[in-house]
Structure 1
Amino acid sequence: MKAPPRLQALIDEGLIDSVVRQLMSGKEATVYVVRCGDDTRCAKIYKEATQRSFRQAVDYTENRKVKNTRLQRAMAKGTKFGRQATEAAWQSAEVDALYRLAAAGVRVPEPYNFCDGVLLMELVADAQGDAAPRLNDVVFSPEDARLHHATLLAEVVRMLCAGVVHGDLSEFNVLLAADGPVIIDLPQAVDAAGNNHARRMLLRDVANLADFFGQVAPELLSSRYGEEIWNLYERGELHTGSALTGTFVRPSGPVDLGGVLREVDDARAEEAARLVRMAAR
C-alpha cells in the first residue's frame, strides 16, 4: 500500500522498507504493519491532540517531569510551544515505559525506534504468525480465563515492582500472542510512587481484568486482588513471586473521613472516565 506521509519519511531515512497494511486505528494512534529488512514490525503513528478522543488527563500527567526548566514553564503556561512539548512528552511516555518494562521482564512489545512521533516496535503474533487478537475478540473457556487472568495479575505485579501502573488496562489493551497475553498501549502509564492517583488506577486495572474474565469464571468477580497487591506494595512486601490469595480485609481503626471523601471523588471521576472510554470505543 501507499505509505502515509509520516511513514514515507521513515522509508526515506531507511528505518523501514515498506508499508504492508493498516492494522488498526484507535483513540490515540493508527498502527501499520511494516517491513524492515526480513522482519515484520509495527509502526504506531500517534494522532495529534486535537484528533484524539483520549485526553491527557491531569490524573495521568501528574508528576511527569522534563529536565529542561524552560520546557516545564512553557508546558505549565500552556503556550503553543508548551503544548507541543506536552504532546512530545505524552508520546515519549509510552516509549520510556516500554523500555523500562521490557527490561523488568514484563510482557510488552519490544520497542525498536522512536522517530518524529512514530514508534517502531515488535509485531505481536498469534500461532499462525498473524497479528495477535485483542482479548475482547477471543472467546475463552473458564479454564483459559482463569489461566490468563493469573498470568496478567503476575504482569501487573511485575509492572508495579518496576514502579509502573498501566492506568488503562483492560481487554482492549492486551493482545493474545501464541505464547500468552502481551500488554500494549502505555502512553498513560504512571509512576506508582510519584502519582497520587496510582492506587486508584491500579485497582481499576485489576478490576477491569476481573470483570472481563469473570464473565466466564464468575468467582473472579468477588476477588480483591487489587487491594491485596497495593497493600503489599505499600508495606514494601510486594515482589514478583508474591503469592496472591484474592482476599483482603481492610484494617480496623479510626475512620479517615478525608480519605473516604477522596475515594468518593475518585470513584466519581473514574465513572466519568469510563463513560468517555466507552463512548470512544
Structure 2
Amino acid sequence: MSSVDIAAAAIKSLTSPAKKILLVVESGMGRYEYVPIRVIEPAIKLGSEKTRTLTDLLVKEGFLTAVGSPYRGYALTFAGADLLALNTLVEDGILSAIGKPVGVGKESDVYDALLANGEVAAVKFHRIGRTSFRQTRRLRTYATGAKASWMVQSRRAASREFEALKKLQASNVSVPMPISKTRHVVVMSALGGRPLVEYKEAVTNELVKKVFEEVRKMYEAGVVHADLSEYNILVSDEGEVVLFDFPQWVPPDHRSAERYLCSDIRNLLRFFSKMGAQVPTLSSILSYVKGAKDELK
C-alpha cells in the first residue's frame, strides 16, 4: 500500500496518545534528524515504558522510523506525515474520504477525494526529497538551506503552490481552485481532462493559442511556472486548458525568470511541433506573453 493508503486506513483508529507522539516528533524534526526519546517522553507524560511501547508500535505500523545509535530516536515517515495531514483535514471539516491516485510523480502524489460537502476534489501530497536531495536543492528555489529536510522542503512546496493557485485564481487564470492547505498537502478542485501529453487529436491553432493565452495571463498575474510542459497542462473534451503543478514558480522579477520562461515556451513549442502544429517563433511568443504584442500570430 502507498503511504496515503496506510494513513487513510489509520485515521479512525488513531488514538490521542499516538497522535501526540506523532506531533511531538513532527515538531522536533525542525531541530533533530531523529527526535530523541528523552525529548518525547516528558512531552507525552505516559511514562517511559508506555511511551517506548507506543513509539515502537508506530514504527511497526510504518508511521515512524527509528535509530538506536548514538541515541534512541524517531522520525516521521511519509505515512506518518500523511496521517497527521489527513487527520487535520478531516477534523477541520474539509475532507470526508480519500480515493484513488490520479497521478504519481517524483515529487508529488495526487489523489481523488471527497470533500465534506460532497464535492469531488484533488489532494496533492508533496514529496520533495523522495528522489535525490542534491538535485532537489539544485532545482528548487524554495529548498533554501543545505540541510533542509524532506518534510521542510515538502511543506515549502505546498505553501508555494497554494500561494500561486490563489494568485492565479484571483486573476482568472485557468488553474485548479485552491481549497485548503495543511503541512505538505494541498486540496484543490478536481483535475478534469487529460494531460496534454496524452492528447491524440490533431493539435489546432486554437489549442496552441489557448495555451499561450494562459501563459500570458499567468505572467500578467506575476507568476512564471518554471517547469511548464505537456505533462502539467490538462485539456478537456471541449478543448479548454488548465495549468497545474506550481511549487517551483518564480515571480517575473526573479533573476532567473527570463530563462525559466523561455524554457517553458520551448518545451511547449517542441511538443506542438512534434504533434504537427504550426507554431510561432520563440521570440514572437515571448513578446506576446510579456505584453509587447496584443495578438499571437
Q: Distance in 2 between matches of 1:54 and 1:43?
A: 27
SS across alignment from 2:89? helix
Distance 1:54 1:45 in 2: 21
1:28, 1:54 within 8 Å by CA — same for their partners in 2?
Answer: no
User: Counterpart of 1:243?
Assistant: 295
Match of 1:135 in 2: 196
Report the equivalent of 2:109. 30
Is 1:184 the equivalent of 2:244? yes
SS of the residue corresponding to residue 204 of structure 2 reads helix
CA–CA distance in structure 2, aligned partners of residues 233 and 178 of structure 1:
26
Give the letter for the 1:161 counterpart: E
CA separation of 1:207/1:53 partners in 2, compared to 1, >3 Å: closer, same or farther?
A: farther
Aligned AA for 1:228? S
State the TM-score, normalized to the length of structure 2: 0.64
Cα distance, 1:202 vs. partner? 1.1
Distance in 1 between residues matched to 2:93 and 2:224, nearest whole Å: 35
Q: Does 1:227 align with 2:287?
A: no
Q: Secondary structure at the match of 2:123?
A: strand
Indicate the residue corresponding to 1:119 in structure 2. 186
Match of 2:210 among 115, 129, 151: 151
CA contact (8 A) 2:205 2:278 kept: no
Q: Deviations over 1:6-37 (max 9, x none)?
A: 42442244320111222121121111111112
Alpha-carbon deviations, 1:135-187, whole Å to 9, x = none?
Answer: 1112021xx43221110111111111112111111110011124411001010
| Greater RCO structure (CA 8 Å; 6+ sep) | 1
Does structure 2 conserve the Cα–Cα contact (< 8 Å) formed by 1:45 and 1:118? yes
Give the match's secondary structure for 1:49: coil
Two-structure CA RMSD over aligned residues (Å):
2.8
Q: In structure 1, what is the Cα distance between the partners aligned to 2:264 and 2:181?
A: 27
Corresponding residue to 2:158 among 91, 103, 108: 91
Task: Point out where structure 2 has 5 or more consecutive residues left out of the alignment.
Answer: 10-82
Say which SS state the counterpart of residue 18 (structure 1) adopts: strand
Distance 2:195 2:106 in 1: 15
**Change in CA separation of 1:101 and 1:80 when aligned onto 2, cut-off 3 Å:** closer
Does structure 2 conserve the Cα–Cα contact (< 8 Å) formed by 1:203 and 1:227? no
Matched to 1:198, the amino acid is A
3-state DSSP class of the match of 1:17? strand
